[in-house]
A and B are shown apart, each in its own frame.
Chain A
Amino acid sequence: MTTLAEDTRVVEQRGHSHAFAEWMFRFRELGIVLALVIVVGATTIDNHLFLSSTSVQQLLSGAAIIALLSIGETIVIVTRNVDLSIGSVLGLSAYASGVLYVHHPHVPLVLVFLLALGIGATCGLVNGLIVTVARVPSLVVTLGTLYIIRGIDGAWAGGNQVNASMLPETFNKIGYGTVAGVPYLGIIAIVAVAIATYAMRTFRTARDFYAIGSDPAAARLAGIPVGARVFLAFVLSGSIAGIAGAFWLSYFGSVDAIAGVGYEFQVIAAVVVGGVAIFGGSGSVLGAALGAVLLNTIYSALVVVNVSSFWSQALAGALLVGAIAFDRLIALRVAPALRTRRRARG
C-alpha cells in the first residue's frame, strides 16, 4: 500500500515539475514573441514603412531559410552535439542545384530537390558516421567537414557563378512568389516548423533525442540506441541543410563558391536565442524558428534605424553569448526553486 501511495506521489510530483518546466518553455517562446513585438513596434514608430507588406514579406522569406536550417540544428543540439557544417552543406547543394539547371534546363523541379536532399543527406551521413562510429566529438568533426565541404564547393565552382537567367522561371518563382501576400518560402518554413514541432513532441524517436541530450549514459542504460539516434540527427540536419540549399538558390537567384558562408553561426545563434539549451536535452523547434525570425527582424530593424548592417554579425554573436549566459542564470535560479517545491510536497 505504502509503495503504491509513494508511487502516486512521485508521479504527481513529476507531473507538477513537468508542468513547471513546460511553463518555462512556453514562457521562453512567449518571451521571444514579446521581444519581437517590442523590436517591431519600436522600429515602426521610427519608420512606419517597417510594417509595410513588402517589408514583412521580405522579413518572412529572409528568415525562412534560417528557420529551416534551425530545425536540423535544433535536433542535433538537443542530442548534446553540434553541427557546424550546415553552411557549407547549404552552399554545396545550392551550387549543385544551379549546375544541374545549367546542364539540363528542363529538368523537373522534384529532381532538383531530390539532388539537394541527396547531397545534404550524404554530408550528414559522413558527419554522423564519424561522430558515432569513431566517437569523436561532433565539434571537431563538423569543424573539419565545414572546411572540407566548403573546399569541395570551391574546387568545383572555382570562380563560376550561376545566375537567375540560367534558372527556369518556375524555380525562381519559389523564391519570390506569394500566396495571398504570404511568400512561398514563408509558408514552406511554417509548415516545416509545424511538422517538426509536432514530431519532436510526439514520436518516440524524437523523445529519444531529448533523453540522449539530458544524459547520454542514462539514455544508454534505458535501452535507447544512442549511436543510431545521434547518427539519425546528423543525417536529418544534413538533409534539411541540403534542401535549404535549393531554396536558398531560388531566393537569391545566383550562387557562387561562397554561398552560405557563416550561416552556421547565424543558425546556432537563432537556435540558442530560441531557448534550445546548448547542453542538450531541452528546447523546441518552434522556439528556434522564432529565434530565427527575431534575429532577422533585428537585422532589418538595424538598417531601418540607420545602424550599419556591418554590425549585424556582432549582434548575432552578442545575442548568442547573452542567450547562453541567460539560460545558465535561469537554470541556476530554477533548480533551487524546483528542489524546494519537491521538498515541500515530499
Chain B
Amino acid sequence: MYNLDGTDILNEKYYRKTFSVCPECLNRIPAVVEEEADGKIYMKKNCEEHGDFKDLISSDARYYKWTHYSKEDKDGKIVWQFDKNGEANPPDCVGEDPRGCPYNCGLCPEHLSTCSLALIDLTNRCNFNCNFCYANVLQSGYLVEPSLEEIERIMDHFRNKPIPAIAIMFTGGEPTVRKDFPEICKMAKDKGFKEVIVATNGYGFQQKKGGLEWTRKVYEMGLDTLYLQFDGINNITYEKTRGIKNLMPYKQRVVDNCRKVGLSSINLVATIAKGVTDIEIGNIIQFSIDNIDVVRGITFQPVSLCGRITAEEMDELRITNADVIKEIENQTGGKISMDEAWWPLTTIVEFGRVIAYLADVEPIEFTCHPDCGFATYLVVDPDTKEMVPIMDYFDPLKVIDFANRFWEKIKHKEKAEIQFFENFLGDFGKTLDKGLNFLDKQQLRLRFLLGVLQHMKKPGKLMEMFGRVVMNGDWESISSFTHGTLLLSSMHFQDAYNMDLERVKRCIVHFGVAMPDGSVKEISFCTMNTIHRPNIEKQIAKQVTTKVRDEFDTTTGQEKQVIEEKQIIESEATHNGGIREMEDEK
C-alpha cells in the first residue's frame, strides 16, 4: 500500500499551510499542518488576541502522508491523488462577508464539492438529555422544529440542483419523537431521494408497545436506513456516555424490531472517546457480525471537542481517525490493518463517476477532503468463515487506477454525446444517434467490466454482484452487494480546535435550513455545529412559549398530556435518564 512509486515522500517532513479559526473568538486565522519528531501530525495556529493553539490531526504521520500523496505524469499532470475537487453546484449566495470562508455558508462560491448527504434537523426535542449535545430544547430554551411545508422546501432545494443530493438524513434532537415522522419519510421518497436515513437513538423503533408496528410503518413509508447511536454492548458504557441505565436492551429491541419487519439496513454509529468507548470497538464489530442480516455497517466517530479546554485536557481527550483505525487493528489481532484495509472516502470518486455515466444514474460524489473519513468493507471468506477486508477479493489499487484512467479517457463523452447521423440527416438522424450512443455505452460497459474483472482474486456470488454494480450501477445492485458485506468507516467531524478550511470547502454533508424569509440555507456540517448554529437557530427558533411548554415535556420530547395520563412519576424518569417505563406501555 505504501509503495509510492519510489518517491521519498514518507521520509520527508509533512508541512502545509491552511486556514482555521480561533477556538476562543472563532475568527479566521492562518494555520499550519505539520509533522513533528514524534511521528504525528499537528495543527498549529496563533490568534493575536488569544495566543497559540496546537492540536493533534493524525497520530500516524506515515499514513497521513500516504493519503496526501499525489502522482504526476511526465507532463506534470496529476494522475493520482486522494485530494479531489468535486463537481460543485452553482453557489446560492455571493459571499458578502469579506472574511470569506467559513462565514459565508449558504453555499458560497468558495465551496468545491456538491452535497452527497443532505441533512435536516427535524427537531431539538429528545427523549434523552445528554449534557454534551448541542441540540437540546431544554438547554437552549427554544424549540427548533421545521413545519412540513418548510421540510418540503428544504427537500426541493436539494433535489432541484443541477447535481441533486441522492441521500437525505433526518437528524435532531431525536427525529422519531415527531408524530409526523412517517409522513416525512414518504415525502423524501416522493421527492426522489434514493436513500432515506434517520440518525436516531432508536426511540420510535424500540417502544415495547407499538414499536413494531411503528417500525413497519416507517419502513413502508420509505425509510431505508437507521444510523443508530450505539456506544457499545455494556450498559455501563451507556451510563457513562448518556447517563442512562440499562440501555442495551433498548438498543437490542431496535435491532429486533427492524429484523421482524425486514428493515435490513442499520448502520451503528459509535462516538469514540478515549477510555470510555474506544475499548468497545471490538465488541461493536462483533455485534455487527452477529447481526449481519440487519446491520450493514459501523461508523466510528472520534469525539468532537466543544467548549474551552486546556492543552492538557486536549492531550487527554483528543482521538483521531488514525487512533480509531489503529485500535481496530489492535482489537482484531491485526486482521483489519491500517496499512492494508483503510482507504480515504475519496478513493472511489472516479470509479463512481464511470459507473454513474455508464448507467445513466445520478453520481454520488465523495469529493470530501482526505482527512474527513476512511472506510473498508469486510466480507466473509468462504473457506475460513472469517471476516476479511475486501482487499482479499480484489486489488483496490489496481481497480482504482484502472477506473481513474478509464474516466480520464471517457469523461468528455459526458458533455458531448455522439452526433454523427444528425449532421447528415437532421432530426431523423437523432434517432440513429441514440442507437449509436446506446451501443457505445454497451461497449464501454463491457470494457470497464473486463478491466475490473482482471483484478478480481476470488470467484463467488459476491463478486458476481460486484460485477452487476460495475455493469448496471443501479440501486438494486448496490443495495444487494452491500447486503453481503459489512462497511466500517471512521469519520472525524471538526471542532474549533482542529478546523481546517480546506476540509470545510470540500464538505459533502450539508444541513438544509428553511429561513424565515422563505429561502433555504445550505450549510456544511462542521461549520453549522461549530460556528453557525446559534445564530441560525436564533432566527428560526420558536421560543418555548407557554403553549409549547403545555404541549411538550422538553426533557423527553413527549407530549405532556400523554405522560400525565399515564401518571409517570418524575423521580422514575430522573433515575432512568428519561427512558420511562410507562412510556413504553402506551
A, B bound: no
